[in-house]
Amino acid sequence: MSLSKSASADGKTLTIQIKGKFDFNLVQSFRQAYAEVDGQTDKVIIDLRETDYMDSSALGMLLNMKKTLGESVSSITISNCRPQLKKILQISRFDKKFDID
C-alpha cells in the first residue's frame, strides 16, 4: 500500500493516487498529501485505479479532506474506481458529496 501525489504543470490540479489498501495506515500520508493545497489549486483528484480495498477509515479521510479544503477548491473527484469500491461509495452516499467517475 502506498500513496503518491502529483500536481499538473499549471498547478491547478492535484492528483493523489492510492495503491493497494486505502485504510487507517494511510491517515498521516493522506493528510500530508493535501495539506499544502494553496489558492492556486482548483481541483483535487483521488485516483483509485490501483486501489483494491477501502474501509470506513478511508471514507472518514475523504470526508475530512472535503471539510479541510472546504471552498478553496472547486471540485474533488474520485476517479477510476473498481466496481466494488464504487458500490461502497454509492452505499455511503458519497456520490452526493463528490464527483465519482
Taking only the tens of pLDDT, the chain with its 101 residues reads 699 999 999 999 999 999 999 999 999 999 999 998 988 999 999 999 999 999 999 999 999 999 999 889 999 999 999 999 999 999 999 999 999 98
pLDDT at 13: 97
Write phi, then psi, for 16 (nearest 5 degrees): -115, 120
Q: What is the DSSP string of 19-87?
A: EEEESGGGHHHHHHHHHT--TT--EEEEEEEEEEEE-HHHHHHHHHHHHHHGGGSSEEEEES--HHHHH
Distance, first Cα to last Cα, the chain: 22
Question: pTM for the full model?
Answer: 0.95
Range of the domain at 26: 2-100
Q: Any idea what the CATH number is for the domain that residue 7 is in?
A: 3.30.750.24
The CA distance from 87 to 73, in Å, is: 26
pLDDT at 6: 96
Q: How many independent structural domains does the chain possess? A: 1
pLDDT at 12: 95
